[in-house]
Chains A and B, each alone.
Chain A
Amino acid sequence: MALPSSTFNKRFAMTPLLRLAHVSKRFAPHVAITDRLAAWLGAPVETRTVYAVDDVSLAIGKGEVLGLVGESGCGKSTLARIIAGIHAPSSGEALYDGMAIMSSARQPVKTLTKIQMIFQDPFASLDPRLRIGDTIAEGPLAHRLVTRAGAPDYVRDWLAAVGLPGDAAERFPHQFSGGQRQRVAIARALAMKPDLLVCDEPIASLDVSIQAQIVNLFLKLKRELSLAMLFISHDLGVVRHISDRVAIMYLGRIVESGPTPEIYRSPRHPYTKALLDSVPKLTVDGTDVVSFKPIEGELPSPLNPPSGCHFHLRCTFAQPRCKVDAPRLDHASQAVACHYPL
């Protein structure tokens, strides 16, 4: 039987590796029993619920790198933690290969070993009292990916894959520089043989001259292991370099997503454009050129986001409709959530 040949069907015929459908995450502060009693009796009690992630849908295909960009408080780390199975979504579905990442009992299901996370600060993410080799072997041993006898060789192989010498296994985290520690954190994640790496600002805490080395390592992993990645960074240059597709988040919502070259060449959402314009570029043609245009206004608090489109207060193109009517992400290949896209 011949398969339908339209590009639409090609894209959606196969299940993506990871699919989020209308995922939201709310954080409600703990309310004291007296306040709850007061509320029950009808007193006005302020409950300040944060919509850290607000109705996010996205998909990552096998071997695909999705860059996730946004300012602090936009919910990108919370989204990463939902995907990694650290947080359960408050509503919506997070599916890995068609299976829920969190079961209803909020227990991460077995597939979780296929999703591994790399954190921002390799000084905090490695156990200071565990030898590197033990840190790397702990997960694979627990999940029987390797026998105890085979563990030392297994560890050495993954150390070599991230460019560290085999004798590093005997040493402790404090004996390594920041860049080397991040390599260890990457080796630890890879030793679980994941299909998807969730990288939360993996190069932000590294020195400039080391960042390029780690970026190259990610490029190599992408090529040789065809790993899918969610790559979170505030460095728009690095995201452009490494990602196949990019999603831009603002106060819990994805405002634009699409293929990397298109987003950078012709952003459709005013926030994406403003974000790209606000990054200082290397200028070599004189000193009076201000190579960036700031976005007006403050980043609103996620505790009290603006009505309608969250960006309307800072948007130069905002119309009355933007104040009341929250735009939804459309279904174009370069999807945008804006009533008046550029």
Chain B
Amino acid sequence: MLLDVEGLTTHFDTRNGVIKAVDGVTFAINEGEIVGLVGESGSGKSITGFSILGLIDPPGRIVSGSVRLNGRELIGLPSSELRAIRGRHIAMVFQDPSTTLNPVLSIGDQMALALNAHGSHSAQMAEARIVDVLTTVGIPDAARRLGAYPHEFSGGMRQRVAIAIALMHRPALLICDEPTTALDVSIQAQILAQIKRLATELGTAMIWISHDLATVSALASRLLVMYGGRIVEDGPVGAVLRAPRHPYTAGLLSSLPANAAPGQDLLPIPGSPPSPMDLPPGCAFAPRCARADAACAEAPMITGTDGRAWRCHHPLSTSALP
């Protein structure tokens, strides 16, 4: 077990009340495993990623729960020790590459900073290592582009630099927060293919945060679906997409245009996602769910024997249940 997240709860205290962004998230990741974390905006998927790295600033706070990396508890670690872990053992790639890179530092300089954050290297060694990493993420002629600034790179190239920085210390876990959402489809496809190849070669485990089921299905082996700050379904990607058990997962799938004849009405999920400020008690999806009844006032995670789990009293495809 590489990463073990248990009961992770992150709240934001605002003037208008407490936002329960992450509300008791539990999952585990094995070494080299690629997990897709899917949810809509406000479902808490990004805050889950930030919480694992301890990147929660006030008014946000991690209320309870534990995050263990190779058995070592990360929550409550002093920031100096967290800094030694960030970038080295766990790295993160963010959505928008134009805001994650420092605009006034050349690519070579900021990569050297990232490299020297964990152990010092001679200038010569550093440059060789940086060129090497940039080349592996698919930046042509890397040695000559070290002096270039982020604005001289395209969006896709900037994201490659951000990925190169994240992979510099060969972290055991890479958290990717919608890294291809801001990119064009043709560039997204290049980066997906590259990152999948790199993760397999380096044996890096990955949490791929996305709202796009198709992207996740092409990349991950396991799928976690989040709704209203909680994980509502967990299982192998193929099995979950073939026969979803949580009505929300099923609703997401059936609302895709690919599942309707052209020109015919889609099957949307009625209503809209709940405000994280005012989550319904029990199952957060119940107000939008056709299967909901009195039992949904409580919604425990139910674990099956087939490596799947779901937070629903009335799951679909019950024939396949244990």
Which of chain A's residues have a CB closer than 8 A to the CB of B264?
A: 219
Contact for B273 among A180, A207, A274, A281, CB less than 8 A: A207
User: Could you tell me if B185 and A237 are in contact, using CB atoms closer than 8 angstroms?
Assistant: no
A–B complex contacts, Cβ < 8 Å, 19 sampled: A71-B186, A207-B211, A209-B268, A212-B255, A213-B268, A219-B263, A219-B264, A236-B185, A240-B257, A241-B266, A275-B185, A280-B214, A281-B217, A282-B253, A289-B218, A290-B193, A294-B186, A295-B186, A298-B156
User: Could you tell me if B251 and A292 are in contact, using CB atoms closer than 8 angstroms?
Assistant: no
Which of chain B's residues have a CB closer than 8 A to the CB of A224?
A: none
How far is it, in angstroms, between the C-alpha of A72 and the C-alpha of B253 when the chains are bound?
27
How far is it, in angstroms, between the C-alpha of A29 and the C-alpha of B318 when the chains are bound?
63
How far is it, in angstroms, between the C-alpha of A71 and the C-alpha of B266 when the chains are bound?
25
Min CB gap A134→B, angstroms = 24
User: Could you tell me if B221 and A287 are in contact, using CB atoms closer than 8 angstroms?
Assistant: yes
User: Could you tell me if B192 and A292 are in contact, using CB atoms closer than 8 angstroms?
Assistant: yes
> B62-70, B100-108, B115-123, B236-244: which one contacts chain A?
B236-244
Which of chain B's residues have a CB closer than 8 A to the CB of A98?
A: none
Cβ-based interface call for B260 (8 A): yes
Contact residues of B with A, CB < 8 Å? 40-41, 154, 156-157, 184-190, 192-193, 196, 211-215, 217-221, 236-238, 241-242, 251-253, 255-258, 260, 262-269, 272-273
Given contacts A207-B41, A216-B266, contact A72 B241 (CB under 8 A): no
**Most interface-central of A240, A290, A292 (chain B CB within 10 A):** A292
User: Could you tell me if B189 and A241 are in contact, using CB atoms closer than 8 angstroms?
Assistant: no
User: Could you tell me if A280 and B255 are in contact, using CB atoms closer than 8 angstroms?
Assistant: no
Interface contacts (Cβ under 8 Å), in number, total 141
Contact for B218 among A220, A241, A242, A291, CB less than 8 A: A291
Interface string of A175-211 (1 = CB under 8 A from B): 0010110000000000000000000000000011111
How far is it, in angstroms, between the C-alpha of A191 and the C-alpha of B189 when the chains are bound?
40
Cβ-based interface call for A278 (8 A): yes
Contact for B268 among A212, A287, A291, CB less than 8 A: A212
Task: Report the nearest A residue to B248, measured CB to CB.
Answer: A209
Given contacts A282-B217, A292-B218, contact A209 B40 (CB under 8 A): yes
User: Could you tell me if A290 and B196 are in contact, using CB atoms closer than 8 angstroms?
Assistant: yes
User: Could you tell me if A278 and B185 are in contact, using CB atoms closer than 8 angstroms?
Assistant: yes
